[in-house]
Amino acid sequence: MNEVSHQRVKTNGIWLHIAEQGTGPLVLLLHGFPEIWYSWRHQITFLANHGYHVVAPDLRGYGDSDSPLSPISYTVMHLVGDIIGLLDHFGEQQAFIVGHDWGAVIGWHLALYILSHLVKIWDVHDVVDEPGRAERAFARYDYLTVIKKFLLITQTDNLIAPPGMEIIDYLRTPSRLPPWITEEELQVYADKFQESGFTGALNYYRAMDLNWELTAPWQGSKITVPVKFMVGKKDLGFEASGVRQYVEGNIFRSLVPNLEIVILDGHHFLQQEKHQEVSEEILSFLRKFPAE
């Protein structure tokens, strides 16, 4: 990762830390929970080596980016504004957006507001209750254990803790690591969250009800830009609650007319678990739109 450079960029009233590499058309890689720019470490160099200017920010509330205290500073309007500010910083009118989890939520809404090309990786979210509750629950574990509990999830049904149990207590800590990640890589996340805490990341969930209100005028709007949607067939809830049927059905395609769907044999953190396949799939999508 020595060729990846780092800087902090002023955007939308805050400072975002970004990792970047390469030259060419701009590709923005947007992470989810509980991640940082590092979750795209495989794709950054791969895409840069294939002729793209790759930028992976720590989203607001994460890593070395600013972390406003109030949950109302984490609406999709704020999050999209941060990314538009990055486009302005680089002097770009258009970009490829690759989003995972909350990054995918940002990608969808960005596609509603400005013209861009979008690669979207599946997102699943849990609802977090009042401020402080989740932080107190997380604090019962060391940071590395918290990261392991989330990043190494293999559960495929909906992630719902039993009544009276916090989700962090419900999640298992695997006794062995899967082959796609090392203890040292997990420690990178743990160290960074030990510096930043989890409040900024959890505030995304605390703003969810407000997001429904703010985005109500766009109900039923179509995403008209080209989209490639990737999902792991073992992702949380994909086979439950009619999600697979929706993804493969007519309603999704009616809302996203220019849609390509790819289902891979993986779990939630697909860009790490199946990093080579995901990188190749992203590249095949990007090459459909040669630079002018």
Is 270 part of a structural domain of the chain?
yes
Is 292 part of a structural domain of the chain?
no
The pLDDT, as a whole number, for residue 118 is: 55
Q: Which of 205, 235, 267, 275 is catalytic?
A: 205
Q: Quickly state the pLDDT bin for 116 (edges 50, 70, 90).
A: very low
113 is catalytic: no
Is 72 part of a structural domain of the chain?
yes
- Of 159, 154, 147, 153, the closest CA to residue 184 belongs to 147
143 is catalytic: no
Range of the domain at 152: 5-287
The pLDDT, as a whole number, for residue 157 is: 82
The pLDDT, as a whole number, for residue 127 is: 47
Domain count within the chain: 1
Least confident of 28-42, 89-103, 153-167: 153-167
Least confident of 6-15, 110-119, 248-257: 110-119
* 171 DSSP assignment: S
Q: Quickly state the pLDDT bin for 1 (edges 50, 70, 90).
A: very low
CATH number of the domain within which 216 lies: 3.40.50.1820
Q: Quickly state the pLDDT bin for 131 (edges 50, 70, 90).
A: confident
Render pLDDT for 57-78 as a digit per residue (tens, 0 to 9): 999 999 999 999 999 999 999 9
Q: Quickly state the pLDDT bin for 239 (edges 50, 70, 90).
A: confident
- Of 80, 68, 69, the closest CA to residue 14 belongs to 68
Is 196 part of a structural domain of the chain?
yes
Is 182 part of a structural domain of the chain?
yes
The pLDDT, as a whole number, for residue 159 is: 83
pTM, two decimals, is 0.94
Average pLDDT estimate for 11-28: 97
Is the CB of residue 270 less than 8 Å from the CB of residue 278?
yes
66 is catalytic: no
Is 166 part of a structural domain of the chain?
yes
Q: Which of 66, 101, 123, 235 is catalytic?
A: 101
The pLDDT, as a whole number, for residue 199 is: 96
Is 234 part of a structural domain of the chain?
yes
The pLDDT, as a whole number, for residue 240 is: 82
Render pLDDT for 280-291 as a digit per residue (tens, 0 to 9): 999 999 999 987
- Strand order, beta sheet including 117-121: 5-11, 14-21, 53-57, 26-30, 96-100, 117-121, 227-232, 259-264
Query: Strands, DSSP E only, in 103-160?
Result: 117-121
Is 244 part of a structural domain of the chain?
yes
